[in-house]
Amino acid sequence: MTVQLVGSLRKELAESLSTCRVLVVGAGGIGCELLKNLVLTGFKNIEVIDLDTIDVSNLNRQFLFQKKHVGKSKAQVAKESVLQFCPTANITAYHDSIMNPDYNVEFFRNFMLVMNALDNRAARNHVNRMCLAADIPLIESGTAGYLGQVTVIKKGLTECYECQPKPTQKTFPGCTIRNTPSEPIHCIVWAKYLFNQLFGEEDADQEVSPDTADPEAAWNPAETEARAMASEMDGDIKRISTKDWARSTGYDPVKLFNKLFKDDIMYLLTMDKLWKKRKAPLPLDWHKLESQVRPQDDVKAGGLKDQQVLGVWGYCQLFQQSIETLRSQLKEKGDGAELVWDKDEPPAMDFVTAAANLRMHIFSMNMKSRFDIKSMAGNIIPAIATTNAIIAGLIVMEGLKVLSGELESCRTIFLNKHPNLRKKLLVPCILDPPCANCYVCASRPEVTVKLNVHKTTVLSLQDKILKERFGMVAPDVQIEDGKGTILISSEEGETDANNGKFLSDFGIRNGSRLQSDDFLQDYTLLINVLHVSEDLEKDVEFEVVGDAPDKAPTPPSNQEDANSIANGNKDSAQPSTSSNAPAEEDDVMFVDSDEAASSSSSAAAPTSSTKRKHLDDETGEASAKRPRTNQSHEAADADDDDDIIALD
């Protein structure tokens, strides 16, 4: 029997490609390569969605974009550029969030295959659940520098993206950031918080002033008050909103400097106990530094600008210049305007560089270059264009297997930086079956959450547990108390009065069960409440116990298995396809091993004897859901900028 070929493909497969509809989620580094590969392979009906706009920093690797496209929609420009490769292709572009309720289960059922080219866990979780609900194959992918991976997810046959537990990103206690930084990353986090406190959206969890509630700071309040009167001049600290105080000074750089780097530091010094076993910080005074400046202090070191480390006075000047620029930007936007921190915005990056380095100097740390701070502040490692190209090619290869009906031959494929013992850079692994206890794709998803019902509010349950921890978009929660008491409704305003109340106010106690439904994701989760009267760990409000641990399995010890990979990044910043705020790049990854295990689930190049999976698949039956109407949607915030990751 002869096989007819169309190009390099069998005739039947080539015909299938020309008629099937596929969805590409993300049009960044991987997405650009993927779209080009798809049209050149023969795919004719492609839909692509991305909320991001093109930034100049994208141009070094996202080759479908040119300088003239900066500021335009990634999805729309990618469509126009790809059509030059194949004018007969039918491509639909959406400049929108994939988490918008318009893209519901019925939308996903229009496709034979979905391919993710995303940059964050929240959007990945969402697409994973939508594909499970629609029973559509999903191909996941991610890159981290020279590392990468691709896997196939099919309901009932393979693990889903959330089958393997992924730990939360590493965060630092507020008192460490505010009072006792000991690593450069602590100062960088503080500087990013400071940017938001001065110019952006204020967050009570991102306070930068000294933390008087620090458990280590057992000091005499009366004595402290007397000694804290360090400055009666301008810049004197009053415990009011940082932004209100800054506005009252007209964002005067010198007054801000003396408050942050002199007065607040002198206030910290009054907390005697903090400095018994630590080196005490050294306050800086603008006027003294200015009087001591020498001509050679203004001479910049050689080398690339971003890799220079300036002197203290150099960072003082950078601090002043960046504040003046940011002040002007705020003024142009009008009253009540806010700025959003973006590592690719020079004034914002200058501000964080200057503020972080000044704080490092105060706490006796070596200062860092702008390049180093940008890498840490963005929680990323540089993206490699060739890695994106390889991974995009592998996505298409796995897609061809799916469309040929050869799911049994699909693999999870890891791209390594160095060859393994068999001298291979690409290492394929057999797909794992679904996890029976997965809280997403199991036939009856169920978890146990440990918390204090007398201290946990309904709003915390909604935002921190259901949305942040379990990835729901618009949850509805009822108590299984025989009455069907509605605790949380996704309909705007329906249960707002409950937000500030504690769970115990609704009769929730140890052993209570809650049913949470997300009708957009066609997903139901049963929550068993385990009440604990004693406090959990510091800064921990709840714990997920039992079958959904917070910590990922220990990676293989074999060197070739030990390269941790994550599927993209975000931090932050916000998801490029799931938020209205600026996002991190879709083809860069968190460096910290916690996020690596969190985005994928573990190691980079497993051998055949020790197989580890990073990505996903799923099995799971969704219970019948009522249709949703007038659903409001608020895009999930990316962890990238809020959760802090320590870099080596």
Could you tell me if 265 and 285 are in contact, meaning their C-beta atoms sit under 8 angstroms apart? no
**Consecutive H or E run containing 513:** strand 513-518
435 is in an annotated binding site: no
pLDDT at 300 over 60: no
**Can you tell me the distance from the alpha carbon of 345 to that of 352, in angstroms, rounded to the nearest whole number?**
11
pLDDT at 171: 61
Could you tell me if 211 and 232 are in contact, meaning their C-beta atoms sit under 8 angstroms apart? no
Range scoring the smallest mean pLDDT among 63-72, 101-110, 274-283, 619-628: 619-628
Q: How confident is residue 212, by pLDDT bands cut at 50, 70 and 90?
A: low
**Can you tell me the distance from the alpha carbon of 117 to that of 396, in angstroms, rounded to the nearest whole number?**
12
**Can you tell me the distance from the alpha carbon of 175 to that of 647, in angstroms, rounded to the nearest whole number?**
20
pLDDT at 333: 86
**Can you tell me the distance from the alpha carbon of 158 to that of 617, in angstroms, rounded to the nearest whole number?**
5
Could you tell me if 388 and 29 are in contact, meaning their C-beta atoms sit under 8 angstroms apart? yes
DSSP code of residue 489: -
DSSP code of residue 614: -
Range scoring the smallest mean pLDDT among 93-107, 203-217, 592-606: 592-606
**Can you tell me the distance from the alpha carbon of 161 to that of 600, in angstroms, rounded to the nearest whole number?**
8
pLDDT at 612: 38
pLDDT at 458: 94
pLDDT per position as a tens digit, 130-166: 999 999 999 999 988 889 999 999 999 999 999 987 6
Which residues are annotated as catalytic? 175
179 is in an annotated binding site: no
124 is in an annotated binding site: yes
Among candidate residues 639, 599, 628, the one with its CA nearest the CA of residue 474: 628
Range scoring the smallest mean pLDDT among 53-67, 306-320, 343-357, 406-420: 53-67
Could you tell me if 158 and 137 are in contact, meaning their C-beta atoms sit under 8 angstroms apart? no
Range scoring the smallest mean pLDDT among 43-52, 168-177, 569-578: 569-578
10 is in an annotated binding site: no
**Can you tell me the distance from the alpha carbon of 344 to that of 346, in angstroms, rounded to the nearest whole number?**
6
Q: What is this structure's pTM? A: 0.62
Can you spell out the DSSP letters for 70-109?
A: TTSBHHHHHHHHHTTT-TT-EEEEE-S-TTSTTS-HHHHT
> Domain spanning 182-364 has what CATH number?
1.10.10.520
CA distances for 636 relative to 33, 197, 367, angstroms: 27, 21, 34
121 is in an annotated binding site: yes
163 is in an annotated binding site: yes
pLDDT at 645: 33
**Can you tell me the distance from the alpha carbon of 61 to that of 76, in angstroms, rounded to the nearest whole number?**
18
Q: Which amino acid does the sequence have at 329?
A: Q
Among candidate residues 180, 154, 24, 142, the one with its CA nearest the CA of residue 89: 24
Q: How confident is residue 201, by pLDDT bands cut at 50, 70 and 90?
A: confident
275 or 600, which is more confident: 275
Say which CATH class 10-166+381-439+549-623 falls into: alpha beta
Among candidate residues 621, 641, 636, 613, the one with its CA nearest the CA of residue 164: 613
Task: Tokens 């952006």: give the residue.
Answer: 200
pLDDT per position as a tens digit, 21-46: 999 999 999 999 999 999 999 999 99
Range scoring the smallest mean pLDDT among 291-300, 488-497, 498-507: 291-300
Among candidate residues 551, 430, 412, 441, the one with its CA nearest the CA of residue 163: 441
pLDDT at 568 over 80: no
pLDDT at 381: 60
Q: Which residues contact 406 (CB under 8 A, 6 or more apart)?
A: none
612 is in an annotated binding site: no
Domain locations along the chain: 10-166+381-439+549-623, 182-364, 446-545
**Can you tell me the distance from the alpha carbon of 574 to that of 568, in angstroms, rounded to the nearest whole number?**
12
Looking at the chain, the number of H-run helices and the number of E-run strands are 18, 16
Task: Tokens 């962890």: give the residue.
Answer: 639
- Count CB-CB contacts under 10 A for residue 596: 29
Q: Which residues make beta-bridge pairs with 48? A: 24, 93
160 is in an annotated binding site: yes
**Can you tell me the distance from the alpha carbon of 164 to that of 167, in angstroms, rounded to the nearest whole number?**
10
CA distances for 180 relative to 27, 191, 231, 456, angstroms: 41, 14, 22, 28
- Rounded to 5 degrees, what angle do the CA atoms 393, 399, 404 make? 135
Could you tell me if 65 and 77 are in contact, meaning their C-beta atoms sit under 8 angstroms apart? yes
> Domain spanning 446-545 has what CATH number?
3.10.290.20
27 is in an annotated binding site: yes
Range scoring the smallest mean pLDDT among 163-177, 213-227, 310-324: 213-227
Q: For 248, list phi and psi in degrees, rounded to 5.
A: -65, -20
Total length of the chain? 648
Q: Is 489 exposed, middle or buried (0-12, 13-18, 19+ CB in 10 A)?
A: middle
510 is in an annotated binding site: no
Most confident of 218-227, 366-375, 407-416, 597-606: 407-416
Q: How confident is residue 344, by pLDDT bands cut at 50, 70 and 90?
A: confident
316 is in an annotated binding site: no
Question: CA dihedral defined by 514, 519, 522, 527, rounded to 10 degrees?
Answer: -10
30 is in an annotated binding site: yes
* E strand map for 1-130: 5-6, 9-10, 21-25, 45-49, 90-94, 113-116
438 is in an annotated binding site: yes
Rg over CA atoms, the chain: 26
